[in-house]
Amino acid sequence: MDVNLETLIHLQEIDTRIGRLEAEAARLPKEIAAVHAAVEDAKKEAEQAKSRLDAARKEQRAKEKDLEVVQAKRAKNEARLYEVKTNKEYSAVLVEIEEIKQEKARVEEEILVLMESQERLAADIREAEARFKQRESEGRSQEATLREQLRGIEVDLAAVRSERKELAAKLPANILADYDRILRARAGLALVPVAKPNFCGGCRVTITPQRLQELRAQSSLIPCESCGRYLYWPS
């Protein structure tokens, strides 16, 4: 087998490893970001529960002020009962007092509903805060694991890239340049074996009998007539 071809086969193996490691190095920061997002979502959930409780308390205070106004109206109208001079006026005041009583009952019911909702919201807050604390703790552990994995991958990448540099230096400049060009154009795969019985291992196009014969005897670099990748006959 041609010495340059042997070097290219090894180089392709290294570049495939580099591609996998780079994919992992790109994936892990996204996973770390997803962990942060999950923790942030749990935090927002707890904050939203607190906001709903604050809103319910604010509404209750407003209703309590409304109730004070209603009670004052009732007291005023009850006092009027002693001032009216005719039965008609007396009856009219009684009607007003009854309407005020109904309004008072309605406001009191609304206050009661708000108080009950606050109890539920307080329970929601406790649960949301517990979920947030748990998610935060899990997130710290997950992030530490992911960052450790990332550091390991970065160390491996540095070593493999150094190995590639040493190996690439053994190739003639024109062959390396052509290989690198194909590598970029063909998604990290510049050199492929013949897939038996007679297919290009990259694009799966049928290889002509004459080209197969050349590949079996291979004394030089032979490209696929379809995709341009270098071909070699597998051992």
Q: Which domains does the chain possess?
A: 17-170 (1.10.287.1490), 172-235 (no CATH)
Position of tokens 């690439």? 168
Average pLDDT over the chain reads 94
Count of all residues that appear for the chain in the document? 235
Position of tokens 């979502």? 41
User: What is the rounded distance in angstroms from the CA atom of residue 4 to the CA atom of residue 83?
Assistant: 117
User: Taking residues 27-53, what's their average pLDDT?
Assistant: 96
Sheet of 199-200, strands arranged across: 199-200, 191-195, 230-232, 222-223
Query: 30-65 burial, b for 16+ CB within 10 Å, e for fewer?
Result: eebeebeeebeebbebbeebbebbeebeeebeebee
pLDDT of residue 26: 96
For the cut 80, the answer to whether the pLDDT of residue 1 exceeds it is: no
pLDDT of residue 220: 86
pLDDT of residue 61: 95
R_g of the chain computed on alpha carbons? 40
Q: At a CB cut-off of 8 Å and minimum separation 6, what does 124 contact?
A: 49, 52
For the cut 90, the answer to whether the pLDDT of residue 55 exceeds it is: yes
Express each pLDDT in 124-141 by its tens digit: 999 999 999 999 999 999
Provide the token pair at 3: 């010495």
Cis geometry, peptide bond prior to residue 197 (ω within 30 degrees of 0)? yes
User: What is the rounded distance in angstroms from the CA atom of residue 81 to the CA atom of residue 100?
Assistant: 14
For the cut 80, the answer to whether the pLDDT of residue 29 exceeds it is: yes
pLDDT of residue 41: 97
User: What is the rounded distance in angstroms from the CA atom of residue 139 to the CA atom of residue 174?
Assistant: 50
User: Taking residues 61-77, what's their average pLDDT?
Assistant: 94
pLDDT of residue 235: 76
> pTM higher than 0.85, yes or no?
no
pLDDT of residue 46: 95
User: Taking residues 59-67, what's their average pLDDT?
Assistant: 95
Provide the pLDDT confidence category of residue 17 given band limits of 50, 70 and 90. very high
